[in-house]
Chains A and B, each alone.
Chain A
Amino acid sequence: MTSRFELHQENLKKIFNPESVAIVGATKLKGTVPYDIVENILKSDFNGAVYPVSPREKHIASVKAYKYVIDIEDPVDLAIIVFPSAVAHMALEQCGQKGIKSVIIISAGYREIGEKGIEREAQIKEIAEKYDISFIGPNCLGVINTDPSVNLDASFARQMPDPGNIGFLSQSGALCTAVLDYARAKHIGFSKFISFGNKADISEIDLMFYLMKDEQTKVILLYLEEVSDGKALMNAAREVIAQSGKPILIIKSGRTSEGASAAASHTGSLAGSDEICDAAFEQAGILRCDNIEEMFNKAMAFAYQPPPRSNRVAIITNAGGPGVLTTDAAVKEGLEIARFSEETTKLLKRHLPSTANIKNPVDVIGDARADRYNAALTAITNDDAVDGIFVILTPQSMTNIDAIAEEIVKVAKETDKPIYTSFMGEADVASGIDILLRNKIPHYILPESMCKAFESDFRFHHKIKGHRFKPVKVEDVDKEAAAKVLEGALQSGRQVLEEDEAEIILGAYGLPVLKGGLAKSAEEAIEVAKRIGFPVAMKIMSDDIIHKFDTGGVILDVENEEAVGIKYQEILDNVKEKAPEAQIRGIWVTEMAHKGEEVILGIKRDAAFGPVIMFGLGGIFVEIFKDVKFRVAPLGETGAREMIESIKGHKLLAGARGKNPADTDSLVDCIYRLSQLAVDFPEIKELDVNPIIVYDEGNGCAVVDAKIMF
Chain B
Amino acid sequence: MEKQEVQSRVKKVVSRVLKMDESEIADEANFIFDLGADSMQSLELVAGFEEEFDIEMDQDKALEIQSIDGAVEFIEVYL
Contact = CB atoms under 8 A, between A and B. Distances in A.
A84 B66 CA distance: 12
Interface string B26-67: 000010111110100000000000000000000000000010
B67 to A, nearest CB: 10
B30 A54 contact: no
B18 A87 contact: no
A240 interface: no
Interface in A55-107: 55-57, 83-84, 86-87, 90-91
A54 B33 contact: no
B55 to A, nearest CB: 25
Contacts of B33: 55, 83, 87, 90-91
A632 to B, nearest CB: 46
A54 B36 contact: yes
Contacts of B20: 56
A139 interface: no
A27 interface: yes
A68 B1 CA distance: 34
Given A87-B30, A90-B30, A55 B66 contact: no
Nearest to A57: B36
Interface residues of B, number: 10
B18 to A, nearest CB: 7
B18 A56 contact: yes
A598 to B, nearest CB: 65
A86 B36 contact: no
A498 B34 CA distance: 66
Interface string A32-60: 00000000000000000000001111000
Nearest to B18: A56
Contact of B36 (A27, A90, A91): A27
Contact of B32 (A29, A57, A84): A84
A57 B38 CA distance: 13
Nearest to B64: A86
A306 to B, nearest CB: 53
Nearest to A67: B34
A13 B36 CA distance: 31
Interface in A11-38: 27, 29
B22 to A, nearest CB: 15
* Chain A CB within 10 Å, residue with most, of B20, B34, B36, B66: B36
* Chain B CB within 10 Å, residue with most, of A56, A83, A91: A56
A54 B33 CA distance: 8
Nearest to A89: B33
Contacts of A57: 36
B35 A83 contact: no
Interface residues of A, number: 12
A649 B32 CA distance: 65
Nearest to B32: A87
A86 B35 contact: no
Contacts of A27: 36, 38
Contact of B35 (A29, A56, A84, A90): A56
A86 B66 contact: yes
B60 to A, nearest CB: 15
A27 B18 CA distance: 14
A494 to B, nearest CB: 51
A370 B77 CA distance: 85
Interface string B1-36: 000000000000000001010000000001011111
Nearest to A26: B36
Contacts of A91: 33
A55 B35 contact: yes
Contacts of A56: 18, 20, 35-36
A373 to B, nearest CB: 60
A90 B67 CA distance: 13
Nearest to A91: B33
A29 B38 CA distance: 11
Contacts of A90: 30, 33
Contact of A86 (B18, B32, B34, B38): B32
Contacts of A84: 32
B38 A55 contact: no
Contacts of A87: 30, 32-33, 66
Contacts of A83: 32-33
B31 to A, nearest CB: 9
* Chain A CB within 10 Å, residue with most, of B18, B32, B35: B32
Interface in A446-505: none
A87 B36 CA distance: 11
Interface string A401-429: 00000000000000000000000000000
A71 to B, nearest CB: 12
B59 to A, nearest CB: 18
A433 to B, nearest CB: 46
A25 B70 CA distance: 22
B17 to A, nearest CB: 12
Nearest to B19: A56
A86 B39 CA distance: 12
A90 B35 CA distance: 13
Contacts of B34: 55
Contacts of B36: 27, 54-57
A91 B20 CA distance: 21
A564 B66 CA distance: 82
A199 B18 CA distance: 35
A297 B13 CA distance: 59
Contacts of B35: 55-56
B33 to A, nearest CB: 4
Contacts of A29: 38
Which A-B residue pairs are the 8 nearest by beta carbons?
A: A56-B36, A55-B36, A87-B33, A87-B32, A90-B33, A55-B34, A55-B35, A87-B30
Given A86-B32, A91-B33, 17 more contacts: A27-B36, A27-B38, A29-B38, A55-B32, A55-B33, A55-B34, A55-B35, A55-B36, A56-B18, A56-B35, A57-B36, A84-B32, A86-B66, A87-B30, A87-B32, A87-B66, A90-B30
15 contacts: A27-B36, A27-B38, A29-B38, A55-B32, A55-B33, A55-B36, A56-B18, A56-B20, A56-B36, A86-B32, A87-B32, A87-B33, A87-B66, A90-B30, A91-B33
